[in-house]
Chains A and B, each alone.
Chain A
């Protein structure tokens, strides 16, 4: 079965520090994609970063990087230099062969000043 697991319901981080949000996945497909989305209190889903299963380099987008460990089936999101505006729900998702996304339950990140 295809599944995304986010084991941290809530996380706190001090402003300007780095934080890692955990994500593990389960799939028997060889080709898949992994995504992180941010959902602030406004409700919109904001795409942050993408990693393809065949990508050898870890994806980076500004302050976001994805720590992709294929053998361990993990795709952790690292946010460097946290800002107050980073406070939001973060969802890890996997794109299946059919195209749909399977989402984890989310991690609520709170950035403290």
Chain B
């Protein structure tokens, strides 16, 4: 079956522009996560969607970052007025419901470069 997909795979943008990153989770997965990985660093949690519950936005670094999940499936992470420090790989993950939902399945990531 298809895994988590993300688009675009690479994005170069100028400082100050807005960008949208897309995540298609595995079909049937109710939980969706966004993480950020800066060069040579571990992964930093950004936001978490679980079913119809209010998202956990506790990891968003500033109000320039926002995310939505439509129809309990596809998610879009939006970064407004991008800064150079936003350059990173943005990873999306999903997990199935219930006790089986321990493992998070990761997408290939979007590499964002802000020039």
Chain A residues packing against B (C-beta within 8 Å): 33, 35, 37, 43-45, 47, 50, 52, 91, 93, 95, 98-106
Q: Output the nearest chain B residue to A104 by Cβ-Cβ distance.
A: B42
Q: Confirm or deny: B66 has a beta carbon within 8 angstroms of a beta carbon on chain A.
A: no
Query: Looking at the complex, which one of B42, B45, B105 makes contact with A100 (CB distance below 8 Å)?
Result: B45
Contact A103:B43 (CB < 8 A) given known A95-B102, A98-B56: yes
The 9 closest A-B pairs by CB, nearest first: A45-B106, A103-B42, A103-B43, A100-B45, A105-B42, A100-B48, A47-B103, A106-B42, A33-B102
Q: Could you tell me the distance between the alpha carbons of A91 and B104 in the complex, rounded to whole angstroms?
A: 13
Interface of A is mostly: strand
Please tell me if the beta carbons of B109 and A43 are within 8 angstroms of each other in the complex. Answer: yes
30 A-B pairs in the complex with CB atoms less than 8 angstroms apart: A33-B102, A35-B104, A37-B106, A43-B89, A43-B108, A44-B106, A44-B108, A44-B109, A45-B43, A45-B106, A47-B104, A47-B105, A50-B102, A52-B102, A91-B42, A93-B43, A98-B48, A98-B56, A99-B31, A99-B33, A99-B48, A100-B45, A100-B48, A101-B43, A101-B93, A103-B43, A103-B44, A104-B42, A105-B41, A105-B42
Q: Output the nearest chain A residue to B95 by Cβ-Cβ distance.
A: A99
Q: Could you tell me the distance between the alpha carbons of A95 and B35 in the complex, rounded to whole angstroms?
A: 14
Q: Output the nearest chain A residue to B45 by Cβ-Cβ distance.
A: A100
B37 → chain A, closest Cβ, in Å?
Answer: 9
Residues of A within 8 A of B103 (CB): 35, 47, 50
Residues of B within 8 A of A104 (CB): 42
Q: Could you tell me the distance between the alpha carbons of A44 and B109 in the complex, rounded to whole angstroms?
A: 8
Residues of B within 8 A of A103 (CB): 35, 42-44
Q: Could you tell me the distance between the alpha carbons of A98 and B109 in the complex, rounded to whole angstroms?
A: 23
Residues of A within 8 A of B89 (CB): 43
